[in-house]
Amino acid sequence: MMKTRYLAGLLTVVLVVSLALIWWRPPVRPPIVVGGELPGPCRNLDFDAVPYVVCEIDPRGYDVAVFLKGSGGKAFGSLETFDKAMSAQGRPILLAMNAGMYHEDLAPVGLLVENGQEVAPLNLADGAGNFFLKPNGVFMIGKDGKAAVMETTAFAAAKPEAMFATQSGPMLVIDGQIHPRFEENGTSRFIRNGVGVRVNGTIVLAISRSQVSLGSFARLFRDALQCPNALFFDGAISALSDGSRMIVGGKFPAGPIIAVSAKRE
């Protein structure tokens, strides 16, 4: 009788554990795709033993724009959806990248300007998370066609006329200095992407092909890419496409998107 009760109890435990394993499954992340030929303005670069794709864009020779929603008023939600929509509209894209943080509904956390129209206001609030690891900043294309990365309070004071703008955080490099709260090589490691602007106005987009710390990522922009000001876009969900396929990243969600295309006549 004791043996029968023991076996029955053991079978009950096994059944409960089996059902729990069936009910709970670890979250499935989209596969990370790394490969393929690079878009025209881009090149491979290694820095601090981390491989990157770096794209250097002269805004005088390319159209650079920021997007959030399609013609139906709904956020694109991913680079894959964005690329398909642009292709269907006959607007070929050379490269696209996620370009700022967003809420659960994909609305931008901070400033977003599309075609000279403010879609979301500048966010000067304090809070938790990378966006609020101040100083944060704004990447913009002015109505004069010139690009800039500006610290948020400086942007608020200057009130520049932006044709396109996206706010994110933290700043990586501020007037040639690494963000004061970064460790030299901290333990937080993700695939990361961001943007910098050189003194001559060249826009530099970079995305790591492997995990990297914020400190090392900031030094990439300052030391290797010669950007006196640079802004972090995001980590873990960072992605780059060439308008038809993913170069780095997977089917990750995206709020604001920066896209580069051939200059329209």
Looking at the DSSP assignment, which residues form a beta bridge with residue 232?
Answer: 194
Looking at the DSSP assignment, which residues form a beta bridge with residue 96?
Answer: 241, 259
User: For residue 2, what pLDDT band results from cuts at 50, 70 and 90?
Assistant: very low
For the chain, the maximum distance between any two Cα atoms, rounded to a whole number of angstroms, is 90
Cis peptide before 253 (omega within 30 of 0): no
Question: Would you state the pLDDT for residue 71?
Answer: 85
pLDDT digits (tens, 9 = 90+) for 113-129: 999 999 999 999 999 99
Question: Would you state the pLDDT for residue 264?
Answer: 81
Q: How far apart are CA 223 and CA 47, in angstroms?
A: 10
Q: How far apart are CA 204 and CA 44, in angstroms?
A: 13
Q: If you average pLDDT over residues 79-105, what whole number do you get?
A: 96
**Residue 256 clears pLDDT 50, i.e. is over it:** yes
Q: How far apart are CA 121 and CA 134, in angstroms?
A: 17
pLDDT digits (tens, 9 = 90+) for 157-197: 999 999 999 999 999 999 999 999 999 989 999 999 999 99
Show Cβ contacts of residue 102 under 8 Å, excluding neighbours closer than 6 positions.
108, 109, 253, 254, 255, 256
Say what the pTM is: 0.87
Question: Would you state the pLDDT for residue 26?
Answer: 34
Q: If you average pLDDT over residues 33-46, what whole number do you get?
A: 85
**Residue 29 clears pLDDT 60, i.e. is over it:** no
Mean of per-residue pLDDT scores for the chain:
89
Up-side HSE of residue 177: CA atoms within 13 Å toward CB?
7
CB distance 191 to 210 below 8 Å: yes
- DSSP strands (E only) in 110-158: 112-114, 117-120, 137-142, 147-151
pLDDT digits (tens, 9 = 90+) for 44-74: 999 999 999 999 999 999 999 999 999 889 9
Q: Return the SS3 of 5.
A: helix
Q: How far apart are CA 71 and CA 87, in angstroms?
A: 13
Looking at the DSSP assignment, which residues form a beta bridge with residue 97?
Answer: 240, 258
- Work out the number of other CB atoms within 10 angstroms of the CB of residue 71: 8
Q: How far apart are CA 149 and CA 263, in angstroms?
A: 22
**Residue 16 clears pLDDT 80, i.e. is over it:** no
